[in-house]
Amino acid sequence: MKNIRLISRLDVKGPNLIKTIRFEGLRKVGNPNDFALKYFNDGVDEIIFIDIVASLYQRNNLDTILKNAAKNIFVPITAGGGIRNIDDAQRILRSGADKIAVNTAAIQNPNLIRDLANNVGTQSLVISIEAKKNKNGFWEAFINNGRDKTGLNVLDWAKTAEKLGAGEVLLTSVDKEGTRKGFDLDLIKLVCKKVKIPVVACGGMYSLSCFENVVKKSNADAVAISDCIHFNRLNIQDIKKFASSKNISVRK
């Protein structure tokens, strides 16, 4: 049996939970720890915290949020944003995260993936990929929270990251993120075919049918959601009940 994991993704800036659209137009939503606790109590399978400005301003505010989360949340926690080296990774793990997600620093120095995998283990290392379809018809990997292009083809980069030791892909569509327009199914399908590590689909979830679509059509292992739960349009239990009714295995 494989159960599709339902993950709540919480983007933070400073002490605040925020929500963006295509990584822009940031809105404050509330206290990230309050929201995380609610999702835990609702039965979420995992929580992702991403510090959205950390890589740009070379700082990291996640520690406090993680330490607070560790007090009352007993599901896996992934943290990302601004992790540049092994020391950063160790600090984040010791603050209460189980996995670290890297993007910008890994693209700038791919060997960081190998070093991190050797140090924290593949199972704790998530490669976060921000994908945007470009004019040449391929998906390009972006860094600094969807701001800067890299010229890298997402499919090639995902494969490289897997080879270097990443244990999971957090795949966010920059085009769909926060838009409430559904997942980028083509992108997710292709990445799932390309790699043999678990893929977390992220960006665009707005309805129950969206969830069914992405799971059944793309072979994603997990689905990360934010907008639809932050603003109370859906809740974790409803999504899980719906999944079961559509023969999608989830943890009950």
11 part of the active site: yes
- Shortest spacing between CB 132 and another protein, in angstroms: 25
- Shortest spacing between CB 134 and another protein, in angstroms: 28
The residue among 26 and 70 lying less far from another protein, judged by its C-beta, is 70
Residue of the chain from 151, 196, 232, 247 that contacts another protein (CB under 8 A): 196
Residue of the chain from 91, 179, 198, 217 that contacts another protein (CB under 8 A): 198
Distance in Å from the first CA to the final CA of the chain: 13
Q: Does 1 bind another protein (CB under 8 A)?
A: yes
- Shortest spacing between CB 35 and another protein, in angstroms: 17
Alpha carbon of residue 237 to chain centroid: 20
Query: Which H helix or E strand runs over 78?
Result: strand 77-80
Q: Does 252 bind another protein (CB under 8 A)?
A: yes
DSSP string of 200-229, one letter each residue: EEES---SHHHHHHHHHHH--SEEEE-HHH
CA dihedral 198, 109, 11, 173 (to 10 degrees): -60
Catalytic residue of the set 46, 51, 130, 177:
130
- d(CA 46, CA 43) in angstroms, rounded, equals 9
Q: Does 216 bind another protein (CB under 8 A)?
A: no
At residue 147, what are phi and psi to the nearest 5 degrees? Answer: -90, -45
Chain residues binding another protein by CB under 8 A are 1-3, 5, 40, 43, 45, 67, 70-72, 74-77, 90, 93-99, 118-124, 167-168, 196-198, 221-222, 251-252
Q: Which residues are catalytic?
A: 11, 130
